[in-house]
Each structure stands twice: as C-alpha cells, then as structure tokens.
Structure 1
Amino acid sequence: MPDAKLYSLLPHRRAIRLLRIKSGTGKKGIQITLETFDLDSKTQFTALSYVWGDATSQRKITCNGHKKLITRNLWGVLSQLKKQRFDCLLWVDAICINQNDEEEKSFQVAMMRDIYKRAAKVIFWLGEQGRYDEDAVNLMREFFKRYPKRLDLERNRVKTLKEMGLSYFDQRWYGWASLCCRPWFRRAWIVQEFLNAKESVFMSGALEISSKLLVHCGYATGVCVAIREAVLGHSTGAHEIEKYILRFQALRIYQFADDIRIFDLWCWSQQLEATDTRDRVFALLSIQTAVNMDMIDYRKDEATVYTEIAIKALSIPVPRITSTGNTVLTSTHRVHTNDMRRVSRFLACKFRSPQSSNLPSWVPDWKPIGFWFVPLTRYYTGTATFTYPYDHAIVKDKTLSISGIFWDEPEIIIDSTPYMDQLSQTIAGKDSDNQKTAKYMLDWMYQCYIEAMSISLRSVEKVDSGRFCRAMAFGVHLEKTVTPDKDYMKGFQALYRKFESLTGKARYHPSFLQSYSEPSCHGEVYESRFSELSAGRKFCVTKKRHLAWVPKETKPTDRICLLAGCAVPFAVRPVGQQYELLGDCYRDDMVEEKGLEIPREPYLFEFL
C-alpha cells in the first residue's frame, strides 16, 4: 500500500508525528497508530536511535490500518518494545517522517536536534542481544567501580592490566569487543542523538545498559593501552574495532564541550557512515550552534552542501584595515573572518582525492577517504601574521582569496608506501600481510634517512640524527620528555625494531640505532604520532634544505606557502595565475603553539 495514504501534510513547521505500539498478541503482528502533535507542547515521548539496516530486507507492520514496510532492524526494535508492553508515545524517523516528501524531510531533519532534546528519554538500540553481551556488561561494571572518573582513566593510560587489577585471559573481553563493534556506533546521526539526549539507555535486545557505563568504558578502551590491547586481542576485526574505539573517545569528549567547531565535526565525520553522503554534514550540523538549520535541504546536491558549509566555516563579517590604515566594512559579496585559527583549522581538513574533483580545491570533502586523516592543526595551533596590511579570507564566486607568501618548494619527494594509510594495523601486528608491509616500511624509512643525511653533502646545512627522528614524528612533543632529541631517537628506534620483529632483520640500519639498546618510554607515543600523521602524506626534502611532510598528491613543481592566520604551511599547485590548494604541510623548523610574524608584504592567492 503506498505511503501516500498514511501521510497528510503537517499543519505547521513545528508539528511532528508520534506513534504508539498497540498491545495484544503476537499473532496480529505489530500494529501502531500514528498521530500529529506540536513539538512545543508538553507532550511526553521517547525517541529512538537505531540503525536502519538493509533497506532490501523488510517486514510488514500495520500503521493506522494500512500496511507499511519497514527494515528488519526497526521491526526488531518494535517487536522487543511490544514484548515489554511499551505503551509510551515514540518518535521514529523512518515512520514519523514522510521519507518520500523531500520538503518535509528537510525541515523535519532540521528539527531533529529539538526532537531529541525534548524527548523525555532516548533509546539507543544496538540490535539483538549477543551471546556474550551480559558477561561484557558485568565486566564493565566491575571496571567502572574501580575507575569511575575520566581522569582516573587517563592516569592509567600506560598501566598493564595486572596493575589495573584485570586479567587479559578473561573471556568477557570478547563480549566487550563485540559491543564496541555494533553498527550503531558508526552512524553519522549518533552524535546529535547522543549529545542532545537528557536521559538515555542502550538496549541490546532485552538487555538494558546504562549510557554512562557504556560510553565510559568505551572511552577507557581508547585511552588505556592495556585495555585496547585486550579488546583487540579478543576480536577478529582488529582494524574495524580501532575505528569504533575512536568513536567512543569522541562521544566521551564531546559530552564536555560547550560548542563544537566545524573542524572537529569534519574530523569526527571520517569515522562515521551515512547512506546519503549529504547526511555526513546534516547529521553533525545540529550540534554546531553557529550554523542555521535552514542549511539542511535535501534538494541541494552534494557539492553545493559541502561548499556552503565551507563558506559558513569561514564567514564572520568584520571590519578590515586598508593599505592606508583606515578601517572599512566588508561588502556583502565578501566574507572575512577575525578568527585566524578558524581558517587555519578548516583549510587543514582539505585532503585532495580523485573523488573531490567536482569541488573547489579549498572545500573539504566530507565523503569517507578510507583511512583516518589527521589535520596538522590538531597539534600546531599558532598563527601566521604579517606586519603589512592584508586580506585574511575572502570568498567570491567559489574562489577563495587569502594573503600569503611563498615559503619553500619540494625538491626530493619520497613516495609513501601503499601501506602507510593503514599503518596502525601493521604496528599492532594485526595486518593480514604485516610481514610484507613491515619489510616495505623498513626500506622506506632507511631511504628517508639517507636522503635526510645527504643534505649535509649538498649544502652547508647540517642534519643530524636527532633532527631526522624529530621530523619523522612531525615535531610533535613527546610526553614528559627531558632530552627531546635523544627521546625522539629512542622512539624512532622502537618503531624500527617493531617492524624488524615482524619481518626479521632489516637489510640496512641507520648508524645511530646501534647507540640505543634500551627500550624507550616514549616508544608508544612516537609510534602513535608517526602512524596517524603520516597517513595521506609523503616525506620530502625541500629546496631550502628542510625535512618536510607534504600531501601525497604533491609534485616537485608545486609550491609551499604560508597563508595569513594559518598555523601550518600549505602545498599549492599553480593553475595559470591562480592556484589549487593541495593540503597542509610540516617543515622541521615548525614549533607547536608558536606563531609566525612575517615582515614581508604578502601576495594575494586565489584558490580555485
């Protein structure tokens, strides 16, 4: 029966539909009623958060006397609630929104933040109960009693399970891993649904799990190395579970955030999935208070949506200083911002891929790229400022104009290995072909070392082993270090030795490795920084004899520039008199949290 018979036009823009499950025997199947209510009224209702599941696998229910098809996963939720004699009003997007009406869908989706905020309770449905779920929850409860606070977890980051009073051989870790891998945690919409819920509970079949407990223990999996190893060790899908762990961490962190930047939303979106690629933006916009929900419009195509959010990320109208020193207001067709870090962080989200060809080069692509790409502005937060007057950021006709200078050029670019984008799996020994990968990485690391050391032969510039090892970790500070260069060298050795343990002795060794036989207390941090930041980038030597990392699409004919207000340099590609933005770069003279003051007159770059 066509859905058109179920849905009449909503009376106004704040109206919603709510359903009620009819009680009765299972012989009649699932029967529901659907009614219209004012969202701003005091009507009490529960909202459901779930995974739609396979759209081709459907079951029938009866809605207001008409047959309606829903996904098997949603049918499972309603069936479980019926067994529990759930008689409250319920909001379910697939039923309460007319999915065939694009206009209604747009304004209803724009209201979802309010819907989840106004719900008396939100149910997060994880699916049918698994065999080990109850055991996992019991283990989580034991752990939570020991470490009830977030700070407690972070203090135990490097402790062993034995020191934490836990056993690696406890089979309940398998259930813990299984819960972490539920498809619910990769949905794009979970962020707004979770953060806007004032009261919530997770359900795995009939098993109810406290939201506080599950998210707390998921966060523990991310920050406590021993727990992560235990969970990974009891899981057959180690690569996938690493992604889920990151999602857990983000949920826990965002609980404490007053507002979330569009930059952070883009980073978060890499780990999420959506059937409609526009939902990767729409699902996250509702937790960004600076964004007008009117942007949500399913009549717009993907490129338009991505470009509009990019302009929004840059757009705060402010006064600007002219070359004569006078202050003028920007015209209506120009967009300026006085938040320099806003521009820096957002442009650093740019990862160029063949899929992005229909977008302006400066617009971040929200589609998944197959690996975890970390913008350098996560660690480098300073800004570049000019002593001369400059225009900071102007957007007109999809062209971004921003002041900057040419800073350097790539000279020797060392191709990244085909395995670097998934390097964390090799380091953990979880890659299915890690012996081949490790051998490739050892040869690659030695090639980088030789090119770095050869700088001293080609110029008066001196490059020592400490500088090289620091550059391989992108110059990011190691924790509690007293002798930085020595600790960078120990960290590099730990990484090198780990690859050797996977493949046997390397053919070549950087000479300095022989000096450090003791294990490094910073090895895990060094490995982590290298694996997360090298993904999507290539190591290179620049014409000014610096060690650098550039976007993987960079060619020797490209340029490295500093842009006004940006914390990191960017690789750009000349296209006639204009440029394409390739992505952020690292150079070995960069310092975390330290800005640059540039006493040169800037050039106005126009990015297509």
Structure 2
Amino acid sequence: MENITERGAHLLGQRFGAAGNGVMSAFLTLFFDWVSPAKIKFAYVVFDHLFRARRTDNSLVVSKSSWQLRLLMFSAWLGMCIAYLVWAPSRRLIMIYHGVTGNGANLLIWSWLTIQNDGPKNEINKLQTVFLDTAFAFLVSSYSLTHRALVWRLAKWAFVRVAIPLLSVGALLYYFREKLPLARTYYRVRLFIFMYIYRAWDAFDYVEAQIVERLPRYLQHKWSSYQQGRPERAKLPRYQYRPLNMGEIRLLILKKSPLYPSVIQAEMVHRPIYPPPDYEAVSYRWGSSELTEEILVDGCRFSVTKAAFGLLLARRSVWRERVLWIDALCINQDDSQEKSEQVQLMRDIYHRASRVIAYPAGDWRFRLAGSLIYQLWSLAYQYDTDKMDWSATPNEANQPRWRALADLFSNEYFNRAWVIQEIAVGRQTELYVGGTYIPWMVFAEVMNWCFQPKRKHLLIGSDNVGTIWRTGESFENVAVMTTLRPEAESWTGAVGEFGHMSDLENLLYITFKFRAADPRDKVFGLVGIARNTGDTVLTTPDYSLPVEQVFQNTARAIFSLPRDRQTVHILALAGTGYSERPRGMPSWVPNFCEERTCYPYSNVFKGDTNFRASGGLSQDLELDNETNSLIIKAIKIDKVLDLSEFGVLDWGLQEREVVDLLKILPIMHGFVHAAIDLCKKHPGLPYAPHRMAHDRLWWALIAGRVIAGEPTRIPADAKFKEVFQHWLVHLDHLAGARDWPHYIELLKEVPEDGMTFIADGTETTYQFSVVDACWGRRLAITTSGCLCVVPPRTKVGDSVIIPFGSQTPFLIRERDVQSVGIGYELVGEAWVDGIMQGEMIGNADEEFIRIS
C-alpha cells in the first residue's frame, strides 16, 4: 500500500522513463537512418505519417468533430508527408524532421484530442511523455549530425558496458524485490530519491505561485491605490449608465494589460441577446458591497467592490481583449426596474455565453490547488485508488497544496444562491483558480473523490483520525449544482433520475442550505431554471415586494400545482420548530432564508426514499385564501409526552473549525445517557425501560438508517443493535479521556469482543449515523412510548400527524387562546419510531387539519 506521496514519486519516475525512451528512440532512428536505403526510408515515413493521420481521424470521429476539422487535420499530416519527400531526404535530416513532425505534431494534436475525449486523465501524461521523447530525440540527433563517429562509439560503449549489465542486474532485483534484502534496499533508495525530488518540486510550486500570483497582485493594488489619489483622476467624470432597450444586455470589453502595473480600463457596450454575441459570463461572489476600488470605463471613473476588482484583475489578459458579462457591473444596481428585467434574462445570459467562468476568488495559494486538482484527477483515473493506503502523514497532509485545496473546497462561493443557476445552465462551465481553468465536472469529481472517508482526513492537515473538520455545506452544494447540469445523468449513469429535480418545489428543497445577501434571491435565483409553474406573480421577479410576501407567493404557487405533483414534502422547510417566524408569515410557508444545521429526513431523489410514513396514499391539500391557511388531509396519531433534558445535539463549532474528537465524546456521552434517562423516567409505558434503552434506542438514535457512503443512507440491519451496546460501553470508557495518550490507555481496557467493531470501522459508521440523524435536533417520547427525534423548539403536548402523501410525520401545536378557531401551528418534521413505513395507515381516523 502506498500513500499519495509515494504514488507521486512513482509518477515522477515514469517521467524519467520517458526521457530514457526518448534517448533510445533517437539511437534506433539514427541507426535506421545510417543503414537503410533511401527508398525504404521514404516508404517508412510516408506510411508512418498516413498511419498517424488515420489514428487522428478515428479520434475525431469518436469525439463527434465536424468534417471540416477532420479534413483540416488530415491535410496537416499530408502536408508534413509531402514536405519530407521534397525537402528532408536530400539533406539527411530524417531524425530531426521525423522527431519534430511526428512526435512534435503529436504533442500539439493528440494532447488537444485527449483533453476533448477523455479529459485531463491522459493529457498530462501524453504532454509530458511526448515532450520528453521529442526533446531528447531532437538533441541527440542534432549532435549526431556533426559528431557521428563520437556518437557511434558512445552508443556502443553505453550498450555493451552499461545497458546490458544494468538490464541484467535490474531484472534480477525486480524478480527478487520481495525476497532479497539488497533488492528491498534498492527500491527504498530509489523511492527516497524520487520523493526528495518530489518535495523539491513542491517547494518550487510554492515559490512560483508567489511570484506569478502574489507579487503581481500586490503591485497592481499598490499602483491602483496610488492612481486613485492623484488630482487628475479626481477631475474625470463618473460613469453614467445609459438605459437598456428591450432584449438588450450590457457587455464589458476589458482592455489588454501591459506587462507592468497599470489602471484597469474597459469599455461598456450594449448588445441584443438574440442572436447572442460572443462573450464570457462570469460567476463570482460579491462579498462586501463597499465600493473601495476604481477602474476606468469609457474614460470615466467607475467604482467597484474589492471582489469585482480582483475578478477584473484576474480576467485581464496581456494577449487580447476580453468581452465579459458581470452582473454587478453590467446591471445598474440602483435601478430596481432594470434589475428585475435583467434578472428575468439571467438564464439566457449564462446559457448563451460562449463559456461560464466560475471564479471563487481566493488568495495566491489557489494556484497550488489548481495544479493539485489535475494531479488527483490523473491519479484517480490511472490507478485503483481504493486499494491505496491513505493514512497521510503530517508531512503530506500539511503540504501547502493540500491546505490550499481545503480552503478552496470550503470557499463561501459554493454556498451562494445565485451560483446555482449560473453553474447549472452554462454550456461550458470552467472553474478558474490561480490561472488554471478546470472543467466543472472535473472539479466536482475530484471534490467527491477527496471527501470519501478514506481520504477526507487529507484536508484536515493532520494524521489524527480523531480530528473533525467542519466544512460547512460546500460539498453538498457542489453536488447539488452538478446534479442540475445537463451532463449530470451521463456522468453518474443515472439516466432519467434527475429530470424531476427542475421542478420548483424540488429545487427549493435541495438548495435551502444556500445563502444570499438578499433573501428574495433564494427564490428569484431559481425561477430561471425551474419548470414553468404557470404563476405570473412568481415567475416575474419583483424586488419591490417584501421578503415575507415573496416567500408566501412562492408557497402558494407550489401548493396550487396539480395533485400529481407531490409538493407536501416542502413543509419540511416550514414550521416554527427551528427559529422565530417573521411577523405575519403563516407557519405553513417555508422560510427559505432560515439557517438550519440539519437536513430534512424526506428525500426527493428517486430510488433513495427510506421513509414512507403515509404508505402509498396521495397528498390531499388545498389553500384557504380567506383565512390564509393550508388545509391538509392527515391522520393524528400521538402526542409528545416528554423531552430529553440534554437538549439539542450540537458541537458548538463554526464552519471550517477543527476540533479534537476528545472534545466531542463527552457531548455525545451526555446526549445518549439523557436519552436512556428519558426512557427510564416513564416505567408505566407500553415499552419497558430496559427494552427501550437496549432494544429500541439503538434504532431511534440513527433514525433507522446508517450512512453507506455520502450521500447514501440505507436501513440499518440487526447487527447494529450489538454494535450500539459495545459503542455505549466504549463511550463510557473514553468520554473521560484527558488527552490522546490517555485515550489509547483507556482503549486497551475495552473488552476484546468489542474491538472487532472498532477495527472494521462499524462503530465509527454507527457514531456518524447518530450525528447524521440527531444533529440539530433533540430526542422526545410520545404518550404511546415511542421514541422520536424532533425539532429543537418542540414542546410537550405537540401532536404527531401524518399528512397524506408525506414520507415523514409532522408535529403541530394548538394555537393560543386568542387564536382559537383558526387551526394549528406547524412545528416541523419529525422521526417517530414504529410509524415510518406506513404502519399507522388504516389504524387511525382521517381528518382535515387546518394549518395557519
């Protein structure tokens, strides 16, 4: 088993092998040139060029390229063949010419083809290998033209005195590599040399990133600050927006940059969006709204935010002008009417752009992250990484490139609501980090690869498996945006599984964790990619409406959809169980800007539904406009009798905060034992206390599911009942550990029969499943003795209902005295033991319940 550093060392070794291959091919071709008649050489080169042309054409067919491109490529190969016949033989330059036109053309053509067909997985290797082959072949053959005798003597000496002995010894060492001490020593020394060079290359990357990224940015900011303070700059007029005509957009033409710090200059033009002009649409995070920087637009001063200034600086090129669409600059943010009209065009703006550039900003270290992403992509496709040892050492996990990658993954850009539409509709979307363009699907796959349990600790910067890194929702959010892209189904193989995700109710459901500076953007940012709801009030973004009204209009549009559209699950985002409601907003209206730490239990992905509390019943609900309430058909089955004294399960951590497992164990210990005490507190219930604690508590703590790999949840089997018992014993032992040495000592006292579950990771799976099920919630017990997991603000006396068509039960609460007669208050979604698979359907009376 090898870790990432050793694998990288082997990759470096392969690059040296390519150099040797170049030298060997040079000598072979030289020998062929010396001994072969001219006609044979002619035939060889002609057929070789035609063979390469045929291979290129086959690749173009596979990549579905146009016939014009195929003809162009074939003409290039044919032209090189004719040029050789006319020019090269008479000057005995077969090696130089053939090396340049053969391998050199491959360097340009095949690297481009492989990036189109297979992504970067082969492109990196082919570029490096072909370049080394060509470079060494060219150098050796050039020298041989004037020193042929010397080269011949050198080749004979190298072959007889060096090559044959090395091949013989190397073959023996390889054959006995696991048996002879000498062979093992040889491989260790070779690996050490490669790893030393590998580390040196890491250091070079670090220095290069500072020179290429950090220094120019620093100089540019200093120069811009100096220019803004000059008196002649203050005399320039402020830029004034010209009104847009119907169907027009503004485009920013970013002028070329000289090789020295200079003022950013641009030109603003108006263009009709139909037919679309050639431009790049940029997706980025606004950050602070304070206008601290200045650029020149049409010779006038134009104030921009720090984030926009950094974006323009990154997109400016020394080679050509760039035509950009940037919402903060190309929309007059002070004109509400124009803003509402342009928001309606946002989907078309990003969809019709030649490409969408996703720019998460960040500092100069993101240059290291960009190169590492391509390395990991190549690594994952060349090797079976599941069999590799990912027990990272601090020397690996603490490398600047891994720290930069961790910062990129936790970047706030991936949590912004407007980014969803911008990423989802772009025909060609690329992430731009540190001067590197990364196709979005490449980035998403590498991120998913890094977040697997075997490799996630590499992002923490520690080899301590007990360390937890709070990444926020960035991983889940990237997965959501990737799911909404057109190529998602072919990428995952789940054809037909994601079509319904474009329904507005499902979009709002899976994106509720995203954030927005203006809460209304949580809705307006999705309207463009949602299937038409037929509600003109909703589909026309109107920033003159208050937030509560926008949310209520959205809920009304969703619950007014035809009954074959299952929409009752959106109630999981409503209720008063997590925070105070805005004044005047009914409890049945989802609060899309509410910040929750937990995800709902219900699921909108096909084939991944673990709960069916309402059985196969269809939803039955309607809006009562007169009382502004929602009437749902449901069965009322139980009431909350008591709540756990511990309260909500929460570590109290901030996003991206690293915490030691030893600080978490006491919290988990208190939460579980409070649940046991809750069961013992009610001995007269149908379930006996000992049965509750040992036969049902293990099931309730994980909500009947275990994590089978993000984001999959599967029903838990009976073995986890035994796992829970051992986990509880271990928790009692380890909750009082003072430090890690003390933890190791306590672990030795654990009974041997329970160590199996620790060794195979089953206990860890169970513990993570407890966190997944109970995070941000608390435990309760009902009057019938069923354990349940409920929202934090649940009260004793809240009723448990199962709405028709719902996957999960809900809690409702009677209104206060002043509100008698206008229905119930929705508290929120819950998990209740014994009713999650439709067991209560047919065993309780149906009724219509008014939620207000």
The answer to whether the Cα contact below 8 Å between 1:495 and 1:527 also exists between their aligned partners in 2 is no
1:206 and 2:463 are equivalent in the alignment = no
Structure 1 residues 4, 140: closer, same or farther in 2, change over 3 A? closer
> 1-side partners of 2:808 and 2:786: how far apart?
15
Q: Which amino acid aligns with 1:227?
A: R
Structure 1 residues 517, 23: closer, same or farther in 2, change over 3 A? closer
The answer to whether the Cα contact below 8 Å between 1:538 and 1:549 also exists between their aligned partners in 2 is yes
Deviation for aligned residue 1:570: 0.8
Report the equivalent of 1:542.
782
The answer to whether the Cα contact below 8 Å between 2:370 and 2:436 also exists between their aligned partners in 1 is no
Q: Which amino acid aligns with 2:773?
A: L
> 2-side partners of 1:269 and 1:440: how far apart?
30
Structure 1 residues 451, 416: closer, same or farther in 2, change over 3 A? closer
**Percent identity of equivalent pairs:** 20
1:490 and 2:750 are equivalent in the alignment = no
Q: Which amino acid aligns with 2:522?
A: R
Q: Which amino acid aligns with 1:80?
A: A
1:504 and 2:718 are equivalent in the alignment = no
Residues 197-236 of structure 1: matches in 2 within 5 Å? 197-222=426-451, 224-233=452-461
1:279 and 2:524 are equivalent in the alignment = no
> 1-side partners of 2:388 and 2:729: how far apart?
23
> 2-side partners of 1:238 and 1:207: how far apart?
30
Report the equivalent of 1:360.
586
Deviation for aligned residue 1:273: 2.5
Structure 1 residues 200, 562: closer, same or farther in 2, change over 3 A? closer
Q: Which amino acid aligns with 1:407?
A: I
The answer to whether the Cα contact below 8 Å between 1:386 and 1:601 also exists between their aligned partners in 2 is no
1:205-236 deviations in Å (ceiling 9; x for gaps): 433333332221112233x1122121123699
Report the equivalent of 2:172.
none
Report the equivalent of 1:124.
358
> 2-side partners of 1:513 and 1:306: how far apart?
55
The answer to whether the Cα contact below 8 Å between 1:438 and 1:500 also exists between their aligned partners in 2 is no
1:553 and 2:793 are equivalent in the alignment = yes
TM-score, normalization by structure 2: 0.60
Secondary structure of the residue aligned to 2:350 is helix
> 2-side partners of 1:175 and 1:191: how far apart?
23
Secondary structure of the residue aligned to 1:113 is helix
More helix, by proportion: 2
The answer to whether the Cα contact below 8 Å between 1:218 and 1:249 also exists between their aligned partners in 2 is no
> 2-side partners of 1:448 and 1:513: how far apart?
24
1:450 and 2:677 are equivalent in the alignment = yes
Residue segments in structure 2 that go unaligned for 5+ positions in a row? 1-233, 489-497, 744-749
Q: Which amino acid aligns with 2:314?
A: Q
The answer to whether the Cα contact below 8 Å between 1:559 and 1:573 also exists between their aligned partners in 2 is yes
Report the equivalent of 2:573.
349
275-284 or 109-118, which deviates more: 275-284
Secondary structure of the residue aligned to 1:281 is helix
Structure 1 residues 308, 355: closer, same or farther in 2, change over 3 A? same
1:475 and 2:719 are equivalent in the alignment = no
Of the three residues 585, 594, 597, the one matched with 2:830 is 585
1:3-61 deviations in Å (ceiling 9; x for gaps): 9962232211x221111113365676122211211112141111011122222252111
The answer to whether the Cα contact below 8 Å between 1:442 and 1:500 also exists between their aligned partners in 2 is no
1:294 and 2:294 are equivalent in the alignment = no
Which of 1 and 2 has greater Rg? 2
Report the equivalent of 1:313.
558
1:7 and 2:231 are equivalent in the alignment = no
Deviation for aligned residue 1:135: 3.7
> 2-side partners of 1:436 and 1:313: how far apart?
44
> 1-side partners of 2:588 and 2:781: how far apart?
25
The answer to whether the Cα contact below 8 Å between 2:613 and 2:836 also exists between their aligned partners in 1 is no
The answer to whether the Cα contact below 8 Å between 2:504 and 2:530 also exists between their aligned partners in 1 is yes
Deviation for aligned residue 1:403: 1.4
> 2-side partners of 1:50 and 1:502: how far apart?
44
TM-score, normalization by structure 1: 0.82
Secondary structure of the residue aligned to 2:408 is helix
Comparing both chains, which one has the higher relative contact order based on Cα–Cα distances under 8 Å and sequence gaps of 6 or more? 1
Report the equivalent of 1:323.
none
Q: Which amino acid aligns with 1:258?
A: G
1:134-153 deviations in Å (ceiling 9; x for gaps): 4433433232224349xx99
Structure 1 residues 106, 421: closer, same or farther in 2, change over 3 A? farther
The answer to whether the Cα contact below 8 Å between 1:417 and 1:440 also exists between their aligned partners in 2 is no
Residues 260-271 of structure 1: matches in 2 within 5 Å? 260=501, 261-262=503-504, 264-271=506-513
Deviation for aligned residue 1:552: 1.6
486-495 or 104-113, which deviates more: 486-495
1:439 and 2:439 are equivalent in the alignment = no
1:91-121 deviations in Å (ceiling 9; x for gaps): 1101111111111111211211111100011
> 1-side partners of 2:795 and 2:334: how far apart?
47
Q: Which amino acid aligns with 1:99?
A: Q
Report the equivalent of 1:326.
none
Report the equivalent of 1:373.
599
The answer to whether the Cα contact below 8 Å between 2:373 and 2:446 also exists between their aligned partners in 1 is yes
> 2-side partners of 1:414 and 1:100: how far apart?
51
Structure 1 residues 429, 283: closer, same or farther in 2, change over 3 A? closer
Deviation for aligned residue 1:541: 1.4
Structure 1 residues 446, 354: closer, same or farther in 2, change over 3 A? closer
Structure 1 residues 128, 244: closer, same or farther in 2, change over 3 A? closer
Q: Which amino acid aligns with 1:529?
A: S
Aligned-residue CA RMSD (Å): 3.8
1:370-395 deviations in Å (ceiling 9; x for gaps): 523333446544262699x9943334
Q: Which amino acid aligns with 1:444?
A: F
Deviation for aligned residue 1:130: 2.4
Secondary structure of the residue aligned to 1:544 is coil
The answer to whether the Cα contact below 8 Å between 2:810 and 2:830 also exists between their aligned partners in 1 is yes
Residues 508-519 of structure 1: matches in 2 within 5 Å? 516-519=754-757
The answer to whether the Cα contact below 8 Å between 1:21 and 1:33 also exists between their aligned partners in 2 is yes
Report the equivalent of 1:606.
850
> 2-side partners of 1:179 and 1:394: how far apart?
45
Q: Which amino acid aligns with 2:665?
A: A
1:408-433 deviations in Å (ceiling 9; x for gaps): 01112114445x2347999x99437x
Secondary structure of the residue aligned to 2:447 is helix
Structure 1 residues 249, 221: closer, same or farther in 2, change over 3 A? farther
Structure 1 residues 595, 258: closer, same or farther in 2, change over 3 A? farther
Report the equivalent of 1:87.
321
> 2-side partners of 1:541 and 1:424: how far apart?
28
> 2-side partners of 1:189 and 1:29: how far apart?
30
The answer to whether the Cα contact below 8 Å between 2:574 and 2:589 also exists between their aligned partners in 1 is yes
Report the equivalent of 1:325.
none
> 2-side partners of 1:368 and 1:481: how far apart?
28
Report the equivalent of 1:404.
634
> 1-side partners of 2:765 and 2:520: how far apart?
35
Deviation for aligned residue 1:177: 0.8
Deviation for aligned residue 1:490: 0.8
Structure 1 residues 212, 347: closer, same or farther in 2, change over 3 A? same
Structure 1 residues 425, 452: closer, same or farther in 2, change over 3 A? farther
Structure 1 residues 460, 43: closer, same or farther in 2, change over 3 A? closer
Structure 1 residues 586, 514: closer, same or farther in 2, change over 3 A? farther
Structure 1 residues 36, 104: closer, same or farther in 2, change over 3 A? same
Residues 68-107 of structure 1: matches in 2 within 5 Å? 68-107=302-341
> 1-side partners of 2:634 and 2:399: how far apart?
57
Q: Which amino acid aligns with 1:367?
A: C
Q: Which amino acid aligns with 2:847?
A: Y
1:155-189 deviations in Å (ceiling 9; x for gaps): x5x985169xx965655322221221333222221
Report the equivalent of 1:110.
344
Residue segments in structure 1 that go unaligned for 5+ positions in a row? 318-336, 507-511
Report the equivalent of 1:145.
378
Of the three residues 258, 262, 283, the one matched with 2:499 is 258
